[in-house]
Chains A and B, each alone.
Chain A
Amino acid sequence: MVAQNIAFGVLAAATSLAAIRVVTTRNVVHAALYLVVVLASVGALYILLTAEFVAAVQILVYVGAIVVLLLFGVMLTKATLGEDDQLDNDQRWLGAVIALFLLGTLSFVLVDAFGDDKLPSLEGVSRATLEAQRGSGAVGDAIFSTFLVPFEVVSVLLLAALVGAIVLARRD
Chain B
Amino acid sequence: MSELLRAYLTVVVFLAAAGMLVGVSLGMGRLLRPKRPSAQKAMTYESGVDPVGSIFGQSQVRYYIFALLFVMFDVEAVFIFPWALGLEVYGVFGLVEMTIFIVILALGLLYAWRKGVLRWV
Contact = CB atoms under 8 A, between A and B. Distances in A.
B65 A166 contact: yes
Interface string B71-97: 110111111011101100110011001
- Secondary structure call for the A interface: helix
A126 B6 CA distance: 11
Interface stretch (B17-25, B30-38, B41-49, B50-58): B50-58
Contacts of B86: 137, 140-141, 144
Contact of A158 (B76, B94, B112): B76
B14 interface: no
B28 interface: no
Contact of A156 (B5, B93, B104): B104
Interface residues of B, number: 50
Contacts of A73: 64
Given A151-B97, A165-B65, A143 B82 contact: yes
B85 A3 contact: no
- Secondary structure call for the B interface: helix
A144 B90 contact: yes
A58 to B, nearest CB: 10
B69 A136 contact: no
B3 A64 contact: no
Given A72-B63, A82-B55, A162 B68 contact: yes
Contact of B4 (A1, A50, A75, A151): A50
Interface in A13-60: 47-48, 50, 52-53, 56-57, 60
Contacts of A158: 72, 75-76, 105, 108
A81 interface: yes
B85 to A, nearest CB: 5
Nearest to B117: A166
Given A61-B75, A161-B68, A130 B4 contact: yes
B1 to A, nearest CB: 5
B13 interface: no
25 contacts: A1-B1, A4-B5, A72-B59, A75-B58, A123-B2, A140-B83, A140-B90, A141-B86, A143-B82, A151-B79, A152-B104, A154-B79, A155-B100, A155-B101, A155-B102, A155-B105, A158-B72, A158-B76, A161-B72, A162-B69, A162-B72, A165-B68, A166-B65, A166-B111, A169-B61
Q: Which 6 A-B pairs have the closest CB atoms?
A: A140-B82, A122-B2, A155-B104, A162-B108, A75-B59, A65-B71
Given A4-B1, A56-B81, A122-B4, 9 more contacts: A48-B5, A64-B74, A72-B59, A81-B55, A127-B4, A136-B81, A140-B83, A151-B97, A169-B62
